[in-house]
Amino acid sequence: MAGRQDLAVSVTVAVDRTHVAVVGGGWAGCSAALTLAEAGVPVTLFEASRTLGGRARAVELGRQPLDNGQHILLGAYEQTLQLIERLHPVTSQASLWHLPLTVELPPDFSLACPGLPAPLHLLAGLLGARGLTWRDKLAAARWACVVLGHAEPPDQLTVSQFTQGQPKKLRDVLWHPLCVSALNTPPEKASARVFRSVIRAAFGGRARHSDLVLPRCDLTALLPAPAAAQVAELGSAIRLGCRVTRVDATQDSVTLGTHDNTSAYSHVILAVAPQHLPALAMQVPALEPLGRAVSRYSYQPIATAYMQYDPAFRLSRPLFALNNGPAQFVFDRGQSHGQAGLLAFVASTATHLPPDWLDLAEAQLHRIAHPGPARWRKRIIEKQATYSCVPGMARPALRTPHPRIFLAGDYTAGPYPATLESATRSGVQSAGALLEQL
């Protein structure tokens, strides 16, 4: 695959012309590099790992082609979906699977949004939900109308404070699981303002914005690899397995150092994860306050368990919500990826996983299906999967105090939490801001 090998190598760069270095080959960096290359600007993309995609990438576990974590998108994540569709013009149907929103949590709860214009589809879904009393349904519909209205919650409010007036059952089966899966932050710590942005994006626009969108191929193949292949085709360079360790910025250029090379660039986009930003930012005096602010972030893990059952087994739906255990969702990769009999269990905010959490996740599955014994089980725990999306978080702008250095990444200022959409949008917008300056 194009994204897994060096596509070209750039060594010497003159700074009397524009040449941009993008540091980080996650979804933000790949989107930024593609935007610049398509605008005719020469780019060198540095990625520390041998595989593109960062926190959303293909992995191989015991020869099994998997992802570092099962991902899901919302229909509202328009920048990401458009870019994927553009990069897979013929096969976009085969790359993404749009499912109208349903939440299936048997036997306690189910909600399906019918094919009506938004937000009527949500209101009809809530009123028709199984497992709620009429009092719960009316309370949910009234609250949804307030959330979709114009008033923003106060900056310091948490999600559990925001949902305080809602019946307990609604908080337990709907609002709080939505918060955990969208923000990867427990409701008692999560930002109500960012949560409301996600709800408004999903339910306040077009009906298709609330679709659940599943990848149908591995995450590297979905966007990073085809974006990088396009960048290389346009004559720019991709350097894999190449960590940037030194940054030296003057008024005229930015010099980057790697293990084997030092080169100067006219501009740099730092598209690394927030946990990796301070080490680079602190080398540039103008960026020290930024580096210090980001170093105060805290992080939340996400654990994914893959379990292989008899290939003839399939769930009755592509995904189910789960409760009373470590996992919040189970996905049928047979239906989405053609990996027959393979299920992916996702445990967000997985800070206190018990040692037997795979057994507990299987017990959660057994409440809804009986697949027989697992042939193998594998797990991946991303300890710093996302920053904790807490109230009042300082999220930096794409332009930094240094005129030649820009940022991109899921933690930069924007309406959404740490998601593929935040990453992709920031990459495209950061490249746009840079292009404006040329």
Ligand X SMILES: Cc1cc2nc3c(=O)[nH]c(=O)nc-3n(C[C@H](O)[C@H](O)[C@H](O)COP(=O)(O)OP(=O)(O)OC[C@H]3O[C@@H](n4cnc5c(N)ncnc54)[C@H](O)[C@@H]3O)c2cc1C
CB of 408 to ligand X, least distance (A): 7
Selection from 244, 155, 257, 251 nearest residue 197 by Cα: 155
Q: Does 239 bind ligand X (CB under 6 A)?
A: no
Helix (H, G, I), strand (E, B) or coil at 347: strand
CB of 130 to ligand X, least distance (A): 25
- Contact code string over 254-293 relative to ligand X, x by CB under 6 A: -----------------xxx--x-----------------
- Strand runs labelled E in 349-432: 376-387, 405-407
Q: Which of 72, 129, 201, 284 binds ligand X (CB under 6 A)?
A: 72
- CA–CA gap between residue 420 and residue 26 (Å, rounded): 10
Q: Does 243 bind ligand X (CB under 6 A)?
A: yes
Letter for the amino acid at 79?
A: Q
Q: Does 198 bind ligand X (CB under 6 A)?
A: no
Q: Does 178 bind ligand X (CB under 6 A)?
A: no
Letter for the amino acid at 141?
A: A
Q: Which of 4, 367, 382, 415 binds ligand X (CB under 6 A)?
A: 382
- CA–CA gap between residue 339 and residue 311 (Å, rounded): 8
Q: Does 27 bind ligand X (CB under 6 A)?
A: yes
Pick the piece of the chain touching ligand X (CB under 6 A) from 42-50, 134-142, 171-179, 322-330.
42-50
CB of 280 to ligand X, least distance (A): 6
Letter for the amino acid at 400?
A: T
Beta pairing partners, 346: 304, 329
Sign, CA dihedral 305-308-309-315, equals positive
Neighbouring C-beta atoms of residue 397, cutoff 10 Å = 14
Pick the piece of the chain touching ligand X (CB under 6 A) from 49-57, 104-112, 316-324, 333-341.
49-57
Q: Among residue numbers 6 through 25, which ones bind ligand X (CB under 6 A)? A: 23-25
Beta pairing partners, 299: 387
Nearest CB to ligand X, comparing residues 225 and 302: 302
Q: Among residue numbers 97 through 126, which ones bind ligand X (CB under 6 A)? A: none
Helix (H, G, I), strand (E, B) or coil at 4: helix
Residues sharing a CB contact under 8 Å with residue 393, sequence separation 6 or more, in sequence order? 191, 297, 387
Pick the piece of the chain touching ligand X (CB under 6 A) from 84-92, 132-140, 313-321, 379-387.
379-387
CB of 338 to ligand X, least distance (A): 20
Peptide bond into 371 cis (omega under 30): no
Q: Does 420 bind ligand X (CB under 6 A)?
A: yes
CB of 142 to ligand X, least distance (A): 29
- Strand runs labelled E in 266-404: 267-270, 299-308, 319-321, 329-332, 342-348, 376-387
Nearest CB to ligand X, comparing residues 27 and 175: 27
Q: Among residue numbers 400 through 419, which ones bind ligand X (CB under 6 A)? A: 409-410, 418-419
**Contact present, 228 and 85 (Cβ < 8 Å):** no
**Interface positions with ligand X (CB under 6 A):** 23-29, 46-49, 54-56, 68-69, 71-73, 243-244, 271-273, 276, 302, 304, 382, 385-386, 409-410, 418-420, 423
